[in-house]
Amino acid sequence: MQYRVVATDASSAQRQLLWDLCYRVTGTVEDTDTLVRDSSTHLVRSVAAPAMEALRTRKRRQYVGSWLPAPVETGNAASAGPRPDGAGGIRYDMVESGTMAFLRALETLDPRERLVLVMSDAFGFQPQETAATLDFTAATTRTLLQGARRKMDGYDSTHVPPTPDVQAHTMDCLRDCLWHLQRLDTGRLEKTLAADAQAIFDSGGEFVAPPGSIVGSATIAKLLTKFVEGTGSISLTYRMLNGMPAAIAQSPARPRWAKRMVIRVELREDRVSAVQVIMATPKLTAVRFDPL
Please report, for the domain that includes residue 226, its CATH number.
3.10.450.50
Total of domains in the chain: 1
3-state SS assignment for residue 216: coil
User: Which range is least confidently modeled, 129-138, 223-232, 276-285?
Assistant: 223-232
Domain presence at residue 198: yes
Vertex 109 angle, CA 156 and 142, to 5°? 85
221-275: per-residue pLDDT in tens? Answer: 999 998 888 776 789 999 999 999 999 999 886 788 899 999 999 999 899 999 9
147-203: per-residue pLDDT in tens? Answer: 999 999 999 999 889 999 999 999 999 999 999 999 999 999 999 999 999 999 999
Domain presence at residue 6: no
Residue range(s) defining the domain that contains residue 197: 164-284
With cut-offs at 50, 70 and 90, classify the pLDDT of residue 22.
Answer: very high
**Contact between 248 and 239 (Cβ < 8 Å):** yes
Q: What is the DSSP string of 23-91?
A: HHHH--HHHHHHHHHHHHHHHHHHHHHHHHHHHHHHHHS--SS---PPP-B-TT-------TT-GGG-S
Domain presence at residue 98: no
Domain presence at residue 126: no
Strand order, beta sheet including 260-268:
214-215, 193-202, 271-278, 260-268, 244-250, 235-241
3-state SS assignment for residue 1: coil
Domain presence at residue 154: no
Domain presence at residue 158: no
**Contact between 290 and 260 (Cβ < 8 Å):** no
- CA dihedral sign of residues 274, 280, 281, 285: negative
Task: Specify the pLDDT at position 58.
Answer: 95
What single letter denotes the amino acid at residue 289?
F
